[in-house]
Amino acid sequence: MEIASFLRRVPGLRDVPDRELARFASVAFSRHLRARELLFQEGEQPAGFYVVESGWVKTFRSSSAGREILLDVLGPLDAIGSCCGQVAGGPHGCSASSLTNARVVWVRGPTWQSVVRECRTLREVVTDMLFRARRRCVELAVDLALLDVDSRLARLLIRLSQRDGTATGGAGTEISGVLSQQEMAAAIGTAREVVSRHLKKLLERGVLSKQGRRMTVLRPDLLAALADGKPIKSAGR
């Protein structure tokens, strides 16, 4: 895919003047990532600006003991770097790695800084993109502090269905198995066994169906109620 045409499809970049977008595209290139390949690491100086072209990428933080907190899952047309130092100009505040085979459009750090100095509209748009995505990290911290596991899991499933969901022949929305149960646990700040137990409850209540790592949301209304902290009954009652 031509890089300029791809960039024009990215939300926010659609209104960037042709001259600025052409400048961006002229120094960008497409980079292939194998599944589980590290893109950048927490504490490193930003290596540039990335947009996901295909596949899925996660951003996360790790403790000294190796425990992960998943911050975000990014798919096609998403900018990467939201919870990192790019907003403030410091080092990365998180790491990023590919969940699947993926391809990103990348502009190297020094070149990227030169481009955004030259292109005022592009600079404003990208800064806004990064701040809006960074806000998601703040929301995650609030969720971890205030919500129970049922609500956090429901909110994660809603986000995944909105981002990667495919309408089925019936009334459901299928979510592909981008995240393992371990990664889902990291996203909501709990253990894999807890996620497994709570998914089983959702299956028994008829909120979800599951085949392998693929899940189908059968009752989005009940999932939304759980996300808001409301108790639910089984779908058939």
- Amino acid found at 29: F
pLDDT attached to residue 8 = 93
Q: Give burial (CB, 10 Å; 0-12/13-18/19+) of 15.
A: exposed
Q: Return the closest-CA partner of residue 35 out of 102, 124, 118.
A: 102
* Edge-to-edge strand ranges of the sheet holding 165-167: 165-167, 173-175, 214-217, 208-211
Instruction: Determine the structural domain holding residue 214 and report its residue range.
Output: 147-227
Assess whether 52 and 132 both reside in one domain. yes
pLDDT < 70 positions in the chain: 1, 81-89, 234-237
pLDDT at 1: 56
> What is the residue type of 198?
H
Query: Of 97, 112, 144, which residue is a domain's last?
Result: 144
3-state helix, strand, coil in the chain (%, to 5): 45, 25, 35
Measured CA to CA, the distance from residue 213 to residue 162 in angstroms comes to: 17
pLDDT at 235: 62
Q: State the pLDDT at residue 211.
A: 86
Inside any domain, residue 236: no
Residue 143 is predicted with a pLDDT of 84
Number of domains in the chain: 2
pLDDT of residue 236: 56
Domain annotation covers residue 103 = yes
What is the pLDDT at residue 132?
75
Q: Find residue 104's DSSP bridge partners.
A: 31, 52
| Predicted local distance difference test score (pLDDT) of residue 120 | 93
Q: What is the pLDDT of residue 228?
A: 92
pLDDT of the residue at 89: 60
Strand (E) or helix (H) holding 166: strand 165-167
| 233: in domain | no
3-state SS assignment for residue 8: helix
